[in-house]
Amino acid sequence: MPSHTRRVLCAEPHEDTCDLITTMLGRQGHEVVSAQTIHDCLELARRERFDLYMLDDDYVDGTSIELCRELRALAPETPILFFSSLAFPRDRERALEAGAFAYLTKPGDIFEIVSTINAILLPRAARHTQRERD
């Protein structure tokens, strides 16, 4: 396992979904921090460093597209993964246009979420470890 712990900010308003994601990603060596609102997510993103942002589509204080754009402005290089119940092609297109790196739909296979996050983060962690050695 790389020495760099991968940190995921899970912006998920449904506590049970976030708990499941936290458990599954924790078993893979990821540290997961959760936020249930856009406000809380942005506050955390401004104060702390994350390797990936995971967004839902259902927030009481705004839209996931708005959140994605704000996160992209704060951290242009940090991947953003949507895990959304909106399954129409246009929803996916709008998320990608706003700066998302990947888009998965709910309900989804939890193992697909884990494998997608690992596919995004593990190469990034390897590059980080290589830079530390150089």
Which domain range does residue 52 map to? Answer: 6-127
Task: Look at the chain and report how many structural domains it folds into.
Answer: 1
Compute the residue count for the chain.
134
pLDDT per residue as tens, the chain (134 positions)? 444 689 999 999 999 988 999 999 999 899 999 999 999 999 999 999 999 999 998 899 999 999 999 999 999 999 999 999 888 999 999 999 999 999 999 877 778 889 999 999 886 555 444 444 44
Which positions ≥6 away from 80 have C-beta within 8 Å?
A: 52, 53, 54, 55, 68, 71, 72, 99, 100, 101
Residue 134 resides in a domain: no
Characterize 95-127 residue by residue with b for buried, 16 or more Cβ atoms within 10 angstroms of its Cβ, and e for exposed: beebbbebbbbbeeeeeebbebbbebbeebbee
Domain membership flag for residue 60: yes
Residues 51 and 121: beta-carbon distance below 8 Å: yes
Residue 1's pLDDT is: 40
pLDDT in tens, 88-121: 999 999 999 999 999 999 877 778 889 999 999 8
Assigned domain for 30 exists: yes
Q: What is the CATH number of the domain that holds 88?
A: 3.40.50.2300
Is 1 within a domain?
no
